[in-house]
Structure 1
């Protein structure tokens, strides 16, 4: 079994160049979650010349798909959502400095 690569956030471009498809990683630090609706809002705001509320430079985004919380639970289950939903927004978000994306799909 291959050894897992340990990375910490902020996650720089230099760190990302050391990884290749299929690597297993352990991430320590802050990861920001946002899915297609959030990406759409952010891209629309940028198109209007507005500043985003989050500085995305050297950040990792988790394409998170939440489910409603069960009664009595503070939060529902969360898991990766299909990365392809963000394809239209990815170039704009990469321009904002995102260096890592977590989701599912090819």
Structure 2
């Protein structure tokens, strides 16, 4: 059985990204931001107007999260991945902002793959059926 590669988002960079291979099993810890297609649209439109984004995306990870309502006292319900292709129209612009890791499900368009190569970004496929387990790791 292959060894699991452990990644901390605070230490991850382009050099490490380029060492990973398709099929590697990866355990990711650290701060991960969540944004879906509506957020990506708002951010790319803001950039087109010359506005500053609410966070600096340099060396950050984004999880394309499809949340469910939280139970009382929990920060979130199940936290499964949403289809990454919904973000494809905005992804090259967002990768140019410095994103180094994307987590979601499904395939990506060729122009997104080229932007990933150019920007040294890794696309991580989330494990299907693990939404409840993933939610246990979310602090806020």
TM-score when normalising by structure 2: 0.71
Give the distance between the partners of 1:83 and 1:63, measured in 2 at CA. Answer: 6
Segment of structure 1 superposing worse, 56-65 or 2-11: 2-11
4+ runs deviating over 6 angstroms: none
1:31 and 2:32 are equivalent in the alignment:
yes
- Offset of residue 93 of structure 1: 0.5
Aligned length: 105
Segment of structure 1 superposing worse, 86-95 or 73-82: 73-82
Residue in structure 2 matched with residue 8 of structure 1 by the alignment: 8
Gaps of 5+ in 2: 108-140
Residue in structure 1 matched with residue 83 of structure 2 by the alignment: 82
Distance 1:69 1:8, change over 3 A: closer
Higher relative CO (Cα under 8 Å, sequence separation at least 6) belongs to: 1
Give the distance between the partners of 1:96 and 1:88, measured in 2 at CA. Answer: 15
- Structure with the largest fraction of helix: 2
Gaps of 5+ in 1: none
SS in 1 for 2:19: coil
User: Residue deviations 1:33-57, cap 9 Å, x none?
Assistant: 1111111110011011000011111
Residue in structure 2 matched with residue 41 of structure 1 by the alignment: 42
Give the distance between the partners of 1:62 and 1:41, measured in 2 at CA. Answer: 17
SS in 2 for 1:45: helix
